[in-house]
Amino acid sequence: MAVVQTQTIQEEPEARIAFSESNLIASICRKSFYEFVKEFWSVACTETPIWNWHIKYLCDEFQKAAELVFQNKPREYDMVINVSPGSTKSIIFSIMAPAWIWTRMKHAVIITGSYGNTLALKLSLKSRDILKSEKYQQCFPEIVLRKDQDTKSLYMNKSKGEKITCTVGGGIVGSHGNFILIDDPLNPKEASSELELAAANNWMAYTLPARKKDLSVCLTVLIMQRLHQDDCSGSMIERIKTAQRTSIREHAEDTNLKLKHICLPAELTDNIKPKSLSKYYKNGLMNPIRHSKSVLLEKQSAGEYSYAGQFLQNPIPAGGGMFKTERITIDVPPTKWLQKIRFWDKAGTAGGTGAYTVGLLMGIDREKRFWILDVIRGRWDSAAREKIIKQTAIIDGREVKIGIEQEPGSGGKESAENTVKNLAGFRVTVDKPSGSHSSKVERADPYSSQVNGNNVSMKEAEWNKEYIDELAFFPLGKYKDQVDGSSGAFNKLNARKKRIGVL
């Protein structure tokens, strides 16, 4: 009996020390998401961590927003975070964040998503590995996974907390989240596809909001590298700005329309948001150890477009993409011309966010220099559009030729014929893109050569900035209507003289 008592006395202090240490770790990790990431790094990751300043900053910013959800208070904003690949973003938001959230809110429903099923499930599995680890269970024994609902894509705890994994574009049936964390919603290889962009943006704009448990409280975080002017982050930012402008006009305030944008390019540029973070860059680099100058030069050599988007968080290369827009001069146009043409790239939708109808006036002077003289741009229905085209022709005068692009199919042919009839008495040419020339990039190439060769000027006007911006982002921009109008006008000015559809 005495022996038993002696063993009990020897074991109790060790048990108390171990229990106390777990409690201490748990207390520190609950209070600080950053400390949680550091403490559980080795559980989820095999590589040696590089604790660059941005990791703590992102952890602290996420925690600041999450605290309101824990208290069931209206959030101050949703978050969009743009940062380079290889910056620990997936470890922070897809792997660590779900496991940490449950330490503070056991019943939280967390929805995570990525562009592909393989990637999404891989990240979800690593997060579950943390939850099942001996260390996590010692620190947070109250978090117990249900054995009857424990898969890679969906697992629950016994406090009714859920972790749901989905792919972008897929359905999310039956559950509503307290947190929605979307990590890399676009595959870089498919970012130039208009169909893929539209599908991802529509999913972000319409499917996800319907999955919020409480519209005013649920926190959405989108974290990704920039891939396109109209990628999910660009679309989300623009959508919120548009809604904010509407709200201001209606004298209303809606917390659902607030957004915090964090942008951390690999190099020190004007794209940094908030601007105050510039002070943390060392020798012009955000992460000088992992993304050193030599590493970035290697990434840049693989392609200007991908580097500009993925590492500089600005989806056009330095100095412009296909069009070196800084080479377009703004000047006073001459009074005499060899020829002028107004080219119309038509769209038939009024309002909304679709394509624009563009009527671009281009001239070539006696020095063989090309001039952008006027841009008419808007979203009108077919009746209003045809009226504007006719009014513009009258203002331009009969000496200005008119070009019309005919879209493929019977509908495009009928639309072009109607416009020609509408412009009876004017010199009208119908352009029917076909073969290799149907490519917007190929059609724009001759005009880009003149821009890049310093042979294009522009009349000073309010439309200058929107025009320059569209050219700068082409072909990765959201809109291509003004480029199409420019290409059509330029190609008509340089075509062999052949009158088509003259009435």
Are both 342 and 304 inside the same structural domain?
A: no
Per-residue pLDDT band for 37 (boundaries 50, 70, 90) equals: very high
Are both 368 and 473 inside the same structural domain?
A: yes
Cα gap 85→265, rounded to integer Å? 10
Are both 105 and 246 inside the same structural domain?
A: yes
Question: Is the Cα torsion angle 316, 320, 322, 325 positive or negative in sign?
Answer: positive
- DSSP annotation of 323 reads S
For residue 22, the SS3 value is helix
Cα gap 163→166, rounded to integer Å? 10
Confirm whether 406 is domain-assigned. Answer: yes
Are both 304 and 345 inside the same structural domain?
A: no
For residue 262, what are the β-bridge partners? Answer: 81
CATH code at position 445: 3.30.420.240
Which residues does 440 contact at the CB level (< 8 Å), separation at least 6?
Answer: 475, 480, 483, 484, 487
Give the residue carrying structure tokens 């490519």. 439
Question: Is the Cα torsion angle 93, 95, 100, 105 positive or negative in sign?
Answer: positive
Query: Each residue of 382-413: pLDDT tens digit?
Result: 999 999 999 999 999 999 999 998 877 767 78
Specify the amino acid at residue 163: K
Give the residue carrying structure tokens 């600041």. 64
Cα gap 374→485, rounded to integer Å? 11
The verdict on whether omega for the bond into residue 274 sits within 30 degrees of 0, i.e. cis, is yes
pLDDT in the model for residue 142: 95
Whether the model clears a pTM of 0.85, i.e. scores above it, the answer is no
Are both 298 and 338 inside the same structural domain?
A: no
Which secondary structure element, helix H or strand E, spans residue 171, and what is its range?
none
Confirm whether 2 is domain-assigned. Answer: no
Cα gap 90→72, rounded to integer Å? 26
Are both 401 and 278 inside the same structural domain?
A: no
Are both 197 and 330 inside the same structural domain?
A: no
Phi, psi at 317, each rounded to 5°: -65, 155
**Among 309-318, 364-373, 440-449, 478-487, the range of highest mean pLDDT:** 364-373
Query: Each residue of 487-498: pLDDT tens digit?
Result: 999 999 987 544
Per-residue pLDDT band for 500 (boundaries 50, 70, 90) equals: very low
Q: How many domains does the chain have?
A: 2
128: containing domain: 12-62+74-310
Are both 197 and 50 inside the same structural domain?
A: yes
| HSE-CB for 118 with a 13 A CA cutoff | 1
Cα gap 479→28, rounded to integer Å? 49
Domain boundary among 310, 335, 357: 310
Are both 219 and 266 inside the same structural domain?
A: yes
Q: Is the Cβ–Cβ distance between 217 and 75 less than 8 Å?
A: yes
Are both 298 and 360 inside the same structural domain?
A: no
- Provide DSSP, 199-267: HHHHIIIIITGGGBSSTTT-EEEEEE---STTSHHHHHHHHHHHHHHHHHHTT---GGG-EEEEEE-SB
Are both 339 and 201 inside the same structural domain?
A: no
Are both 429 and 349 inside the same structural domain?
A: yes
Cα gap 179→221, rounded to integer Å? 8
Specify the amino acid at residue 101: I
CATH code at position 149: 3.40.50
Confirm whether 68 is domain-assigned. Answer: no
Specify the amino acid at residue 140: F
* Mean pLDDT, rounded, of the chain: 87
Which secondary structure element, helix H or strand E, spans residue 456, and what is its range?
strand 456-459
Domain boundary among 276, 310, 344: 310
Confirm whether 315 is domain-assigned. Answer: no
Query: Each residue of 126-172: pLDDT tens digit?
Result: 999 999 999 999 999 999 999 988 787 899 999 999 999 999 888 77
Distance of CA 473 to the CA centre of its chain: 13
